[in-house]
Amino acid sequence: MDNGLHAPCTMSGEDAPAQQQNAVDQKQETKPAEEPKNESPKTESAPAAAADTAATPAAAAEKVPEEETFSYRALVLTGYGGYDKVKLQVKKGKPTLKAGEVLVRVKACGLNFADLMARQGLYDRLPSPPVTPGMECAGVVEAVGEEVTDRKVGDKVMVLNRFGLWQEVVVAPANHTFLIPEGMSFEQAAALPVNYITAYMMLFDFGNLRPNQSVLVHAAAGGVGIAATQLCKTVTDVAVFGTASASKHETISEGGVTHPIDYRTKDYVEEVRKISPKGLDIILDPLGGSDTHKAYNLLKPMGKLITYGAANMLAGQKKNLIAVAKNWYHQFSIHTLSLIQGNKSVCGFHLGYLDGETELITQAMNAILDLYKEGKIKPRIDSTWHFEQVGDAMRKMQERNNIGKVILTTEPMPEEEKKEEPKKEDKKEEKKKDDKKKDDKKKDDAKKEEKKDDKKKEEAKKEEKKEEEKKEEVKKEEK
């Protein structure tokens, strides 16, 4: 698994950098990548393959140009920083398949909070730039390697990897792919793996969720939040407390949140205590820092705190050292004696560190797909963005403006949209022109008002002069 398209992944343990593939990154071209020809499954033995090659040297020679001309678009993190650090490039050279691997033509990719942190250099499971991010995608199998028996060309699959999936073509181990159920779109499939596996394993493997329990879900309108809420509703009479801005309350309530809380205007700890004075059974904590302390104190006896992130470290487009330092300063730690006396448990979950646990991941995914087929869960898509719009997609998610999953599509943006979409410089110029017009109008209006005032003053002076003249005439007549 040293190929850069699938090197370290969620269930792998290898750390080969993504840039070690035989491909050349170039600046983005406007034309889409060339469509490759479908390949038949590589199931023949090595001697048979060698015999075929020897028998048809001309066919082997014909493959060389195809290998050289094959290209595909990929998003590449070129360095740590703002949204502009993720750039669209064209890679050349057809990826080679090893035994047990499949080649997938990607249709849609999922955007996760970890990708935002990775852009700022705050996610240690992503190799150093330049590297292609992306932990989940969905597409169609175009070729299979030797020893692959449960996948075939034409299969619609979702792929789970530690990184490297934000591109038009990916190579991954077949056991990192899952068949897409009938009726599920590529966008929904790309929204499923990371969020739902995370929520499922936290609630059921760590949390042991049972009927009549209570759960606190932070960021209830996000990908994991919606997944966790839906999974909670598969268990009888589970009360879901969900934090989200007020504008999202109606949506998350319809989705199954029993008690929505506006974390921006209210203290969620006080709000929980009003409804459940004893506290909660399970708390999912993606925030870290001081919020982890609050979560632990909110637990009932026998309650479980499951921490799975440090979103409080993400403040602004670039790395905020103050936010990072503050988060570390308030890092939660506890003595085992306190755990014993409090009858509480603290768990940590990180999907990116479940390296090699293919069986665990597969079991969770199979259970999730069964729930989907039963109609009990369904990924919610907030919005879909072209690769060219990745910066805007990341901004929407980082500014907490999404309700559900943000998806990237590999379909190239139509030329019409590109022409219609003004450049940043053009927008700035237009804004300057608009501001100038407004200022000019204000000045013109001010001048008109001044003229009116001057006219009124002149008329007032004339009236005064007439009054004085009248008074003079009256005085003369009296004399």
Here the tokens at position 158 are: 């979702």
Per residue, what are the HEC states of 147-200? CCCCCCCCCEEEEECCCCCCECEEEEEHHHEEECCCCCCHHHHHCCHHHHHHHH
On whether the CB atoms of residues 239 and 258 are closer than 8 A, the answer is: yes
Structural domains of the chain ordered from first start: 71-190 (3.90.180.10), 195-378 (3.40.50.720)
pLDDT in tens, 97-144: 999 999 999 999 999 989 998 998 988 888 999 999 999 999 999 999
Q: Regarding predicted confidence, which is higher, 347 or 39?
A: 347
- Say if pTM beats, i.e. exceeds, 0.85: no
pLDDT in tens, 315-346: 566 665 665 666 555 677 788 888 899 999 99
pLDDT in tens, 397-446: 999 999 999 999 999 998 777 665 545 445 555 555 556 666 666 666 66
Q: What is the mean pLDDT of the chain?
A: 81
pLDDT in tens, 211-250: 999 999 999 999 999 999 999 999 999 999 999 999 999 9
* Radius of gyration of the chain, Cα coordinates, nearest whole angstrom: 31
Give the integer Cα–Cα distance in Å for 200 and 254. Answer: 20
Assign residue 376 a region: left if phi > 0, alpha if psi is -120 to 50, beta otherwise? alpha
Give the integer Cα–Cα distance in Å for 31 and 244. Answer: 41
On whether the CB atoms of residues 319 and 120 are closer than 8 A, the answer is: yes
Burial class (CB in 10 A: 0-12, 13-18, 19+), 50: exposed
**Which residues are within 8 A (CB) of 56 and not within 5 positions of it... i.e. 6 or more apart?**
none
pLDDT at residue 195 is higher than 50: yes
Query: 44: how many CB neighbours lie within 10 A of its CB?
Result: 13
Burial class (CB in 10 A: 0-12, 13-18, 19+), 324: middle
